[in-house]
Structure 1
Amino acid sequence: MNVTEIEKELIVNSEKGNLLNELVASLNECQRFYFSVAFINYSGLQLLLDAFKAAKNNGVRGKIITSTYLNFTEPKALRKINEFEDIDLKIFVTDKEVGFHTKAYIFENDDSYKVIIGSSNITQSALKSNIEWNVKVISKNDAQFIQDVLKEYDYLWNSSTEANDEFISKYEEFLSKVKAYSFESKLIYEHAEYIVPNVMQTRAMENLERLRAFGEQRALVIAATGTGKTYMSAFDVRAYRPKKLLFIVHREEILKKAKETFEKLIVNQGVTFGLLTGNHKQKESDYLFATIQTLSKYYQEFRQDEFEYMVIDEAHHATSPSYQEVLKYFQPKFTLGMTATPERSDNHNVFELFDNNVALEVRLHEALEEELVVPFHYFGITDIEGIDLSDIDIRDAAEITKRLKVNERVDFIIENMNFYGHDGEMRKCLGFCATVEHANYMAEEFNKRGYKSACLTGSDKPDQRSAVIARLEDDADELEFIFTVDIFNEGVDIPTVNTVLMLRPTESPIVFIQQLGRGLRKYASKSFLTVLDFIGNHNKAFLIAIALSGSRYYDKESLKIAIATGFADIPGCTHIQMDKISQERILAQIDKENFNSLKYLKEEYVEFKKLNQGRTPYYLVDYLKYDGAPDPIRFIDRDKSYLRFVANVEKNEYAQSLLNNEAFEGALKELSSKLPLKRVYEFVILKYLIDNDHITLDVAKKEILKYVKQIDNDSVLHTFECLNQDYYDSGQRKSKPKLCQQINGILTKTDLFAKLLQNKEFKKYIEDVITYGVIRYEKEFKSEDYGTPHFKLYEQYQMTDAALLSNYRKTHTAFRGSGLLTHEKDYFLFIDLHKEEDIKESINYQDKFINEQYFQWQTPNSTAQSSERGKNIIFNEERGIQLHLFVRKYKKIDGKTEPYIYIGKGNTVKFDGEKPITVKLKLEHEIPANLYTEFTKKV
């Protein structure tokens, strides 16, 4: 065979792509297809359903062979394939002598075949995330290789049995017997020594240990439901070995599970475990698990220092009076708070209760990445034509309800629900509705059509809610659906839920993420969650994209690329798919929207206020409480301080009265201008100075080490100099208030700052900015030591940040206005990929990514190869020059200057030309595929 007749490519699951994408693309363009795979699970099949439907609509027929090998193939998947009349299905029945291991995907085209052979079966992990090797070969029809493949396929096809209903029923019956007989052998022997902390738990414990080592006595852990917070606390207690422990929570069922977890993990330490509840009074136990309701009656029977370690589970309740009484009484050596939802704080700040020490925060995307929750398969489905919400306010609940109560829509929902199916034998579904009336309507209509459903709303009593939830969780009960509004957004944990229906227009990314989270808890018989979102023609549909992107920062460009690439950067087996109409509709909306306009920012703020129980969110830390909350930095960018934004948007007299004090507003603006922090040192020192008059370099270093693993003395000294305004230009010194001054190596508060802090109201807001800065820094940078310059890969930076982070000791505002800035051995390359048309450059710059590993850059047009600067660039490695690359796609989007993204250091491997020199740089870190796509793709 001639080499030119064949093309080959290795397909692996990585950031750059996966087998699923390849199969979907191949199904969309082929004329026939033939699969032979050892086993098929529903988790993988569901991801191919739309491609199979499209193939059918295109008149494409297919054949699939699978097997009963090791009993891995799911009968449910076989039944689903048989619903496609254009796909013929056969089963190779294996016995002890003959195994069946094939994994081959064959696509027939006009004059060629595409054959993919490798290691992947049809499961979600094999198609998306497992380490798999598959080789794609494209070859002419008459090539010997193709003839051999087709001959072997025909042999297997003829050796296999038709997968008709009778066969599948017998297979199901056989599997149920196997399951019954082998139940005991599948029990997992759980011994404390073999249970090891997951990534989240390990990180939390390291951070808790560091905080304690520096004398901190309280800390909060924020992690999504189902990520293992109780195990984490038990691991930490096991390491800490307190003589006495008090574990407090508000619900008895949570308490009993927590006690069981601790008993399982803490063995042979000679401690006793007991309950203090309405029914149990085991007050003498070493490790006491108490409900707050019972503890608040008995707490004075214990000494104040009785317990060395105290755990507050569901810590967002700890601001209530009953908790406050107990917390003020006890004086443990350490208190740990744990919550998934720090938002329900009844006007109190949960963070403050734990001295603003957030030991760990794990939100949805990180939980997916670390496999702490199950993956979800999201299908965005364009709603039926009759549902038009484009001409009404999304907050007009009555009108939305009226338009959604359409029988045809109910049938459409059921049709799609049955098409996509669900994981597991029984469907356990939550349907999120627009109003109580809408939820009642959905439950009634589903019941009429034979789908057992119930409706739960805020007006139902807790006992009634518990009873209905218990019915949904009971496999013997016929209940499949609970339709609800609002009450399941947060705090309700139903691990068995395997389907979520989004039946209302998305008003907020926060609510969307909360509702999605209701089904992500891991459960023995659940490998994924099915999410069906019926996307109507309403003018805020793009909020779905913001929620799903999971990006801390987003702009039009990054959102559009996320949608166009099917949210390729979503971790693991999670799959996000929107149909073409929804995609186009959302892309058009994003094009029209200006995310920086006052109108948009106001809408974002008002929606957030509504989620804050209608209370004005006066504090920046309010925005740390929710996954998917707006980024308040955008509000600060608008009005120089968050409180000023609130005063302007709300015409808020209280905020305005505070801001009438010029010194206070000046201090707020000065602190706010540093957000988001790129190094935490300055704010840690300011936090210390709130309650102390001065700080030495040694104490400052100790304080900073509570937050980072390492810091050098020069960086601490540079921080003191920055706080002393040594690097401000004359204009900045005149306009910005001075909060600290350095005298003989000691930093003290200025009289102005000290006076402001004496005012309780002013102090609250100054503390808020500092706390927000520190907590957000911890969340984004963790405790890593980034060295000097202090750059984190793929983080956003402005030009002047490079001066601060490299301990530059001249005026920092000088660090702007040029594409190349230098400090000693560090060269900072600030690169715009798309030049603005109105910039009249004397040359045509050619700055671009060659591929993920190489970048082409042109020096400033005055740079000659013979100059010192030119030599430092073209011989950078020999001369010890670090070339740092900062790249942005556009200089401005929607009128706002875009930040640069740090892509690491590069080394010159090739150069030519003169004034400018064109340089080819090899990047030290290959750029991640999703970021490369964002920089290079146009939508």
Structure 2
Amino acid sequence: MNETFNLTAVPQINSVLEKYSPKLLINNPITKENVLSSVVEGLTSCQAFRFVVAFVTESGLAMLKSHLIDLKRKGIAGKLLTSTYLFFNNPKVFRELLKIDNLEVRLTDLEGFHSKGYIFDYNDDFFLIIGSANLTAQALKINYEWNVSLTVNANTKFILEVNDQFEEIWNRSESLTETWIKNYEILYVQHTAKQIMKEELTKVEPIDLPNQSAGNSITPNKMQNYALAGIQEVRDAGHQRALIVSATGTGKTYLSAFDVKNFNPKRMLFIAHREQILLKAKSDFEGLVSGSPDEYGLLSGTGKHIGAKYLFATVQTISKPEVLSQFDPRDFDYILIDEVHKAGAASYRRVIDYFAPEFMMGMTATPERTDDFNIYELFNYNVAYEIRLQEALEEDMLCPFHYFGVTDLELNGETIDDTTILSKLVTEERVSHLIEKIEYYGYSGQKVKGLIFCSRKDEAIELSVKMNGRGYETVALTGEDSIEQRELQVQKLEHGDLDYIITVDIFNEGIDIPTVNQVVMLRQTQSSIVFIQQLGRGLRKHKAKEFVTIIDFIGNYKNNYLIPIALSGDRSLNKDNIRRKMKDTSYINGLSSINFEEVAKEQIYKSINNTNLTELKKLKEAYQELKNRIGRMPFLIDFIQHNLIDPGVITDTHKSYHHFLLRIREDVPSLTNYEAQVMEMISKEILNGKRRHEIVLLDLLINQGVVSHDRYVTKLMELNCPTDERTISSIRRIMDLSFFVASDREKYGNVPICTLDEDNYYRLNETMKHSLATNHFFKKLFRDVVDSAAEKSRMYDPKLPLTVYQKYTRKDFCRLLGWENDEKGTIFGYAIKNDMCPIFVTYHKKESVASSTNYGDEFLSPTTLKWFTRSKRTLRSEEVRKIVEANENDLHIQIFVKKDDDEGGSDFYYLGKAKPDPSSVQQTTMSDDGSPVVCMNLILEHAVDPKLYRYIITDYKN
């Protein structure tokens, strides 16, 4: 029989109050909060849902489609009540709504229908969002909206009134059908025609001003102005070469034209690898740069205007020795090279080495190359300006996109993977699966204009045949097709004569099809560079589309971990960072969204878990990339400043950065044995930045050699760091190594780095002082770790020993909470010491875990963790009573959880303080041997962040 404590559940009161307290929801770009995330969380957790919204747009609906299809798999359905108020909703969005099988839609004719509400059924409770947000992308992510979110019990008067009101309107509303849409379409077209006529009648004709042309009216946008200033700054510093790194679609050609106009060269040469690019650039320049049409010429297979002032040349033509020799090396005072990442080719180098212009500018979206050619060196490491995908979206320079990571087909219970043969890639089943997804996720505009990227040529050709047999107009293009054939098919796509061009890699770059409104990735991701190139094919703005749909078929591919890296731009190689980008996509700016179907998400997590991101080869490649960029040996702080490898990734697998440099055979000065030990100590214990106190002390000691205790404490107070005796004592024990276990002290040199003397001064040991004074490389490495730690410490709240949702090890807890020694070896699941009880939970245990230790810990809600003590514990056990009576004993229970052991390492998410619910305490037995164990509900001080909560509780293995 189970025994229970008969005590009042006082700790639950605050939790209940928090759960049922209303919250204000707004879109806040600074904190990355938006209404969309709350709607998505409501869908993720509900048993049923109802939306009451006046306005729906295709873009707003797109943000929810993957979540709705996940609900369909679970057998969960919903209702949407909307209207034709003001003819805001276009007929196409109603057809998109019809595609969603688990969503019943009705139309009310209620006059002035302007409601905005989202209702989620949690069985015992209802979660509601009511306010000003319609189901539009702007309302869910951008507009300044006021909405209230609240959770109410199913029996409250308020929700009963809401339900009654919904049912009343629902029952007298008309069901959405194709017939209804056709009738509405007639009225919609008539209304639109009237609006256009009204606008035409009230339009005021602009007054023609003398000398005002279309070209002269074009001015640089904000980002182009920044870039132009950066280029001029390079020139003012006396440099003759500059590199522009600009995401696809951000106006590199216009930017170059503006700069040429500012420079006003006697002659200019524009080099590209395709004539189509030159023709477009030539047209843009003619509209922006002064001069008569006769001054513009082409040098290619079709043009030989060698004497033109503004010459646009293909590299294939101008690099020919017989053509190059017709020019004087100083003929051009300004040279522009487009897609300059190709400049490692012999043809480009021949041209670059031949000419001697006053200024040369290179432009690329992807300077990181895999061919060992250093673009940065070619331009003397002068990056005049750089704008990547995230920034370009934030500045509204690109077309918004909705990315959908969808599940690839399962064949005989196995998902498509790296080894799947062609016959299985183009089965009728997979073609049907492809069509189902591209139809469901749709596109913006009146007609699909899509690109499909396949993994191989024969797959592209066969897929085109099968899609044509299903009623689509498609063509397969491969590297074997001529440039003329490719351009012909591109024109057909743009004019609406084709639905899709199916290809392998030939359209990754150098192609401009602004009307593309759907990009389909039907192949594994081999590199983040290629991924962004292919995604970028649809990012150019065009009046015929509001957004571009990206559909990525995610199979069981080993390189799936590259997808969140590419989308987020996070190249830290830190697995936890990558996982965070999967569960929280708020890093994507503007009206764009990133969405993964649950099964596809499982494949990516599996890839992250199974990939060794810290293998020497990957670290060396990242190191070389940064070295190429800055033109010298990088230090750890350089990786942070350039958003590359997380320094902790290097030092997790190497004793120190110096040790890593030796492993990759970098020629660096040597360190003494003791210097190497000190570097290992500060790399392993201080670099993570989880506490600022050690960083501040070492910084003062490097600068001053000796520092008074009072000066140290004053500096800590200036930084809002605690200065209580327990914390300060802990710092001293770290610095004199007495905190560490014997094996660690041995590794770290067994000599205190610094001590507090009888005069209350902190002093470095003599060996350290001597090394810092005489070994400049050691001092540089030491300073580098301290500076890097200071940067990493920005992630943590300086006022608190632990920051909620950051990750900590058992050893971190001992250090940060001021325990005298590292007692990680005795904590295991939990430990009670002084006034503290840290509890560490691995949420999803491995099947190999012995049943005697396989406790049933589980979240009952975001605020309640059902937790088990060690086995062979009863209600009368002293440690159990201490925990149960934590409120009376002022015992501080701290909760740490990690998803599973596949996350790697010994880090756990810190979820904050908790208190036991005495009424839930009961003694039960272990399933294997019947030994006693006590379980109880621990009530968290604050509810777990919804995204993290969902990530932790979802078992992607089952």
**Counterpart for residue 669 of structure 1:** 668
List per-residue Cα deviations over 1:653-690 (Å, max 9, x = no partner): xxxxxxxxxxxx77x435xx9xxxxxxxxxxxxxxxxx
**Counterpart for residue 89 of structure 1:** 105
- RCO (CA 8 Å, sep 6+): is it higher in 1 or 2? 2
Aligned counterpart for 1:556 among listed residues 572, 575, 586: 575
**Counterpart for residue 919 of structure 2:** none
Is the counterpart of residue 410 in structure 1 residue 424 in structure 2? no
TM-score, normalisation: structure 1: 0.62
Report SS of the residue matched to 1:338.
strand
Counting only pairs closer than 5 Å after superposition, residues 620-639 of structure 1 correspond to structure 2 as none
**Counterpart for residue 522 of structure 2:** 503
Aligned counterpart for 2:450 among listed residues 429, 434, 439: 429
**Counterpart for residue 335 of structure 1:** 360
**Counterpart for residue 58 of structure 2:** 42
8 A Cα contact 1:33 1:107, kept in partner = yes
Equivalent-residue separation in structure 2 for 1:566 and 1:914 (angstroms): 32
Displacement after TM superposition at 1:863 (Å): 10
Is the counterpart of residue 204 in structure 1 residue 227 in structure 2? yes
**Counterpart for residue 38 of structure 2:** 22
Report SS of the residue matched to 1:542.
helix
Displacement after TM superposition at 1:551 (Å): 0.5
Report SS of the residue matched to 1:219.
strand
* Closer, same or farther: CA 730–213 of 1 in aligned 2, 3 Å: farther
Equivalent-residue separation in structure 1 for 2:530 and 2:282 (angstroms): 32
Displacement after TM superposition at 1:82 (Å): 2.8
Report SS of the residue matched to 2:794.
strand
* Closer, same or farther: CA 11–367 of 1 in aligned 2, 3 Å: same
Report SS of the residue matched to 1:901.
helix
Is the counterpart of residue 594 in structure 1 residue 612 in structure 2? yes
Report SS of the residue matched to 1:500.
strand
Aligned counterpart for 1:576 among listed residues 594, 603, 610: 594
Displacement after TM superposition at 1:244 (Å): 5.3
Displacement after TM superposition at 1:461 (Å): 1.9
8 A Cα contact 1:502 1:534, kept in partner = yes
Displacement after TM superposition at 1:348 (Å): 5.5
Counting only pairs closer than 5 Å after superposition, residues 151-162 of structure 1 correspond to structure 2 as 153=166, 157=170, 161-162=174-175
Is the counterpart of residue 275 in structure 1 residue 292 in structure 2? no
Report SS of the residue matched to 2:480.
coil
**Counterpart for residue 386 of structure 1:** 411
Query: Which amino acid counterpart does residue 602 of structure 2 have in structure 1?
Result: E
Query: Which amino acid counterpart does residue 589 of structure 2 have in structure 1?
Result: P
* Closer, same or farther: CA 347–553 of 1 in aligned 2, 3 Å: closer
Query: Which amino acid counterpart does residue 505 of structure 1 have in structure 2?
Result: Q
8 A Cα contact 2:689 2:790, kept in partner = no
List per-residue Cα deviations over 1:44-68 (Å, max 9, x = no partner): 1122234434555666554423333
Report SS of the residue matched to 1:170.
helix
List per-residue Cα deviations over 1:704-752 (Å, max 9, x = no partner): xxxxxxxxxxxxxxxxxxxxxxxx999879x99xxxxxxxxxxxxxxxx
Query: Which amino acid counterpart does residue 311 of structure 1 have in structure 2?
Result: L
8 A Cα contact 2:574 2:645, kept in partner = no
Counting only pairs closer than 5 Å after superposition, residues 229-248 of structure 1 correspond to structure 2 as 229-242=252-265, 245-248=268-271
Counting only pairs closer than 5 Å after superposition, residues 804-883 of structure 1 correspond to structure 2 as 808-809=702-703, 841=739
Counting only pairs closer than 5 Å after superposition, residues 871-910 of structure 1 correspond to structure 2 as 901-903=792-794
Query: Which amino acid counterpart does residue 792 of structure 2 have in structure 1?
Result: I
**Counterpart for residue 459 of structure 1:** 480
Displacement after TM superposition at 1:26 (Å): 2.4
8 A Cα contact 2:398 2:541, kept in partner = yes
Aligned counterpart for 1:357 among listed residues 355, 368, 382: 382
Counting only pairs closer than 5 Å after superposition, residues 138-287 of structure 1 correspond to structure 2 as 138-140=151-153, 145-146=158-159, 149=162, 153=166, 157=170, 161-176=174-189, 182=196, 195-242=218-265, 245-266=268-289, 274-277=296-299
Equivalent-residue separation in structure 2 for 1:524 and 1:515 (angstroms): 21
Equivalent-residue separation in structure 1 for 2:279 and 2:204 (angstroms): 22
Structure 1 unaligned residues grouped into runs of 5+: 610-617, 650-664, 674-727, 737-792, 844-859, 870-891, 919-928
Report SS of the residue matched to 1:372.
coil
* Closer, same or farther: CA 299–233 of 1 in aligned 2, 3 Å: same
**Greater displacement, 590-599 / 802-811:** 802-811
Displacement after TM superposition at 1:168 (Å): 1.4
8 A Cα contact 2:695 2:789, kept in partner = no
8 A Cα contact 1:259 1:273, kept in partner = no
Aligned counterpart for 2:562 among listed residues 543, 547, 561: 543
Equivalent-residue separation in structure 2 for 1:842 and 1:599 (angstroms): 32
* Closer, same or farther: CA 403–280 of 1 in aligned 2, 3 Å: closer
Identity %: 37
Report SS of the residue matched to 1:216.
coil
Report SS of the residue matched to 1:104.
strand
* Closer, same or farther: CA 579–646 of 1 in aligned 2, 3 Å: same
**Counterpart for residue 773 of structure 2:** none
Aligned counterpart for 1:9 among listed residues 20, 23, 32: 23
8 A Cα contact 1:388 1:537, kept in partner = no
Larger CA Rg, structure 1 vs 2: 2
Equivalent-residue separation in structure 1 for 2:238 and 2:647 (angstroms): 32
8 A Cα contact 1:12 1:18, kept in partner = yes
**Counterpart for residue 538 of structure 2:** 519
Equivalent-residue separation in structure 2 for 1:462 and 1:472 (angstroms): 15
**Greater displacement, 824-833 / 81-90:** 824-833
8 A Cα contact 2:449 2:515, kept in partner = yes
Equivalent-residue separation in structure 1 for 2:648 and 2:21 (angstroms): 50
Structure 2 unaligned residues grouped into runs of 5+: 1-16, 207-212, 626-630, 680-686, 742-752, 763-784, 803-815, 821-833, 836-942, 954-958
**Counterpart for residue 375 of structure 1:** 400
Report SS of the residue matched to 1:221.
strand
8 A Cα contact 1:457 1:485, kept in partner = yes
Equivalent-residue separation in structure 1 for 2:544 and 2:392 (angstroms): 19
8 A Cα contact 2:475 2:501, kept in partner = yes
8 A Cα contact 2:661 2:668, kept in partner = no
Equivalent-residue separation in structure 2 for 1:523 and 1:807 (angstroms): 59
Report SS of the residue matched to 2:231.
helix
Aligned counterpart for 1:438 among listed residues 455, 459, 473: 459
List per-residue Cα deviations over 1:483-528 (Å, max 9, x = no partner): 2222223333332222232223333333333322222222222233
Counting only pairs closer than 5 Å after superposition, residues 718-737 of structure 1 correspond to structure 2 as none
Query: Which amino acid counterpart does residue 88 of structure 2 have in structure 1?
Result: F
**Counterpart for residue 774 of structure 2:** none
Q: What's the C-alpha RMSD, in Å, of the aligned pairs?
A: 5.9
Displacement after TM superposition at 1:272 (Å): 8.2
Query: Which amino acid counterpart does residue 442 of structure 2 have in structure 1?
Result: G
Report SS of the residue matched to 2:21.
strand
Equivalent-residue separation in structure 2 for 1:109 and 1:390 (angstroms): 33
8 A Cα contact 1:822 1:828, kept in partner = no
Equivalent-residue separation in structure 2 for 1:903 and 1:494 (angstroms): 43
Report SS of the residue matched to 1:669.
coil
**Greater displacement, 500-509 / 171-180:** 171-180
8 A Cα contact 1:309 1:333, kept in partner = yes
Aligned counterpart for 2:130 among listed residues 117, 121, 128: 117
8 A Cα contact 2:477 2:502, kept in partner = yes
Query: Which amino acid counterpart does residue 39 of structure 1 have in structure 2?
Result: F
TM-score, normalisation: structure 2: 0.61
Displacement after TM superposition at 1:413 (Å): 2.0
Aligned residues: 721
Report SS of the residue matched to 1:902.
helix
Displacement after TM superposition at 1:9 (Å): 1.0
Displacement after TM superposition at 1:459 (Å): 1.8
* Closer, same or farther: CA 303–455 of 1 in aligned 2, 3 Å: closer
Query: Which amino acid counterpart does residue 68 of structure 1 have in structure 2?
Result: T
Query: Which amino acid counterpart does residue 134 of structure 2 have in structure 1?
Result: N
